[in-house]
Structures are given as structure tokens and as C-alpha cells.
Structure 1
Amino acid sequence: MKTRILLVEDQAIVRNGLKMIIEQDETLSIAAEASNGIEALTLLEQQSIDLVLMDIRMPEMNGVEATRQIRSRFPMMKILILTTFDDEEYAYQTLKDGANGFLVKSSEPKKLITSIHSVLAGGMVLQEDVAAKLVPKLLRQSIKQEQPPTTLTERELEIAKLVGEGKTNKEIAAALFLSVGTVKNHITHILTELQLRDRTQLAIYAVRNGFV
């Protein structure tokens, strides 16, 4: 069964190009298309979607606000931001609001496909040049914004570090010689312990607190 993707982009010619690239992968399908965040939310209410691939700058509702609302209404939805604007402020805000990755449109088609599969597998995708700007910003966050000290085990700290590096559950399992199910259970406990919403927040937490 193919992965169902909602493509959210206000320029029809760009949507068509992205659709052609993505559907070259036989496991992926553009199940629906939208030209702004409002249309995207409506489609998500009506259809079964596995991943949202979304532009930032769109009329009526942009990608930043749409990310916030999608995460609120559909907590388990995978969201990959795709834009021409390699601005760390956009990256920081969308990741803070729950996006699973940030990629610029100038990326090679192969990179887009790889990124989609990485997000679907539970990883986090950050465009290299954006990440170079974003990580220092995260590290500059004030101490009072950090989560309180925790009692994570040594194993949980190892897993949190690997999540911070953008590793998928499968990659973490292979690195630590654990089953994928065990990794999932550890991550669930870590999120509860740190009072975090999802693995994206955990990745940011790991960077802020020097795990990575």
C-alpha cells in the first residue's frame, strides 16, 4: 500500500513538478493537493493522509500557522516543510510547533525522496545550511526555558542523544543492539519523563542540553 501524501503549495506549476518527482517512487502517492493551509486542514478532515509536504509562504494561511494547527488537530501526522526560504526563523518556529523536518526546494530530487522516507520512519530532517544556523540558536536559549533536571537512565540518555542526531527508531535499535519495540518504549518513557510532546521536541531538548 502506498504512502498517502498531502502536497500543500500555492503555485500549481511547482505542485505538478513535485508530484512528478515524488511519484517516481512507487511507494509514494500524492493523494491530495492544497494551495494553502486552510485547504490543507479541510482535506485532512476528509481523507486519510500519512504525511504533509508543505510550503511556508502561502496566501490565507501560511505553513507556520498550518503546522501549528495540524499538530494540534492531528498529533500523529508527519509534517515536512519544503520552501525556497532557507531562513532559520522559519525552521525554528515550524520545528517548535511540531514539524518533523525542514528542506529547501533547491534540494536534489533524491534528497527530497530520502527525506520523506526518513520522516516516515520517525527521523527528523534538517537542511544542512539551515541546521548550521539553527543549532546555535537553540543553544542560546535561556536556562529558564529549559526543562527541569530529570532522572533518565544511561540507556535513555543514549537514546535521547541519537534522537537529537536525527536517527530513526530502526537506526537507534541497530546502534544500541535493541529491538525497535524496545526503542519505542524507551522514547515513550523519555517523553513522559521530560514532559515533551513528540520526538521533534526531544531532539531540540537534546541539542539544548548538550546531549549531541
Structure 2
Amino acid sequence: MDKIKIAIADDYAIFRDGLKVGLNQDQNMEVTVEAGNGTELLERLEKNVVDVILMDLRMPGMDGMEATKRIRERFVQTKIIAVTLHDEDSFIVHLMEIGANAYLLKDADPLDIREAIYAVHLHGYYFNDLVNKALLKKLITKGNFKPAFNQKVELSDRELEVLQLICDEKTAIEIGTEIFLSPRSVEGIKQRLIDKIGVRNTAGLVLFAVKNGLI
């Protein structure tokens, strides 16, 4: 496989350096962009296309939340992983709603960070079992937030089938093989789901499925 090109955005150079050394040890990954805040990151992304961004939320100038919104508008295919000290429910929910593909804490094991990178690159999302998925389900069960989903959406049997397989972390090729469709047709159904439900990415589809008891 081609190397996964990675950007790191964090205002602490020592943190960036540590991540860079660790990730570059993986032969399938390469850190090609570094930035100290959101403004620097956006400027450098104009000249260097990356697959995955590891981004802190609290940075001087443009923070990670604002940068996430702008990246979603300008670099649709780029995956965003929030890597932060903040484990508050509001941060997690808000980041997933505005388009982040994963949310990790800075004390995450290096293996978990690499796993998250592979997951968002291949599947479009990564929910850490100990933090993200547990907190999201807890919030949904208690009704503590109202995502900006289209609540009146009606999905066909085929769309529900594809949504379930997406939640099972299947790729478009794997889904196509299982339900006898071309990968292109699967991608078309996936985009239709995104448009119908009113989310920004695959992570949003999974969040919708969890909220509505589909998984």
C-alpha cells in the first residue's frame, strides 16, 4: 500500500516530535506536515495533500475546532483525528458532529494511535471502545444532546443493509462482495445515506445508527 501521509497540528513542538518519531517507525506511515495552529495547518495543506490529520483542540490563533470545520469544507477526503487532553462529553460530541473521524486522548497508547490512523484511512471512522463509543452511547441513552440529524429520514432496505455493514467496519469492496454490488455502487449508496441523514462523513453515519438503535 502507499504510505499514509500524516499531518500533526499541535502547539507543543516536543509533542509533535514524539508523535513524528513514533509514527515514522511504521513503514506504512509518513509525517509530511507539521503545524503549531490551525492557520499554519491550512496554509500547509494547500501545498501538501495528506490522508490523516492528528490535531490538538486547544491551540493559539485558530484552534482545532475551527480548523476542523474549515478542513471539512476544503479537504473533504482528509480524515481528522482529534488528539487532546480534554475528555469532556461536550468536546467529543461536538467534534464528531462537525466532522472529526476519531477522538483520542493524548495519553493513548501509541498502538491505539496507529490503529486509529489505519481505521480512519480505511473505513472513515474510529471509535475507541474505552472512551469514544462508551461516552457516545451514554450521551445518546440519556438524551443529553440533539445531533443535527434529519429525524424524518426513511431508509430503504438496501440502505439499511449498507449502513449496518459500514458500522461493521467493512470497506466498500467488502460490502460490494457481500451484497453483490460494485464498490462504486456501494459508494453511491453511502453518499446517499450521508445526504439523507444530514451528516458529514462515515463517523456521522455510525453515530446516527447508534442513536437509533440500528447497531
How does the TM-score come out when normalised to structure 1? 0.87
* Structure 2 residue aligned with 1:119: 120
Alpha-carbon distance, 1:189 to partner: 2.6
Residue deviations 1:50-105, cap 9 Å, x none?
Answer: 21111112111221111111112222221111112222211111111101111112
* Structure 1 residue aligned with 2:186: 183
Structure 1 residues 22 and 190: CA distance shift in structure 2, 3 A: same
Rounded Cα–Cα distance in structure 2 between residues aligned with 1:62 and 1:136 = 27
Q: Which amino acid aligns with 1:189?
A: R
* Structure 1 residue aligned with 2:86: 85
CA contact (8 A) 2:81 2:103 kept: yes
* Structure 1 residue aligned with 2:3: 2
Rounded Cα–Cα distance in structure 2 between residues aligned with 1:30 and 1:117 = 14
Rounded Cα–Cα distance in structure 2 between residues aligned with 1:82 and 1:142 = 22
1:96 lines up with 2:62 in the alignment: no
Residue deviations 1:133-170, cap 9 Å, x none?
Answer: 222323416789542433422232132234345x1425
What secondary structure does 2:123 align onto?
Answer: coil
Q: 1:63-212 residue pairs with structure 2 within 5 A?
A: 63-127=64-128, 128-139=130-141, 140=143, 146-164=149-167, 167-169=169-171, 173=175, 176-178=178-180, 181=183, 182-212=185-215
Rounded Cα–Cα distance in structure 2 between residues aligned with 1:35 and 1:144 = 30
Aligned CA RMSD, in angstroms, stands at 2.5
For structure 1, the 5+ residue unaligned runs are none
Structure 1 residues 155 and 145: CA distance shift in structure 2, 3 A: same
Structure 1 residues 144 and 126: CA distance shift in structure 2, 3 A: closer
For structure 2, the 5+ residue unaligned runs are none
Rounded Cα–Cα distance in structure 1 between residues aligned with 2:42 and 2:72 = 11
Rounded Cα–Cα distance in structure 2 between residues aligned with 1:187 and 1:173 = 11
Alpha-carbon distance, 1:24 to partner: 0.9
Rounded Cα–Cα distance in structure 2 between residues aligned with 1:160 and 1:196 = 13
CA contact (8 A) 1:88 1:130 kept: no
Identical-residue share of aligned pairs (%): 30
* Structure 2 residue aligned with 1:18: 19
Rounded Cα–Cα distance in structure 1 between residues aligned with 2:27 and 2:93 = 32
Alpha-carbon distance, 1:110 to partner: 1.3
- Which consecutive segments of 4 or more residues in structure 1 shift more than 6 A? none
* Structure 2 residue aligned with 1:53: 54
Q: Which amino acid aligns with 1:173?
A: I
Rounded Cα–Cα distance in structure 2 between residues aligned with 1:130 and 1:124 = 11
Structure 1 residues 115 and 48: CA distance shift in structure 2, 3 A: same
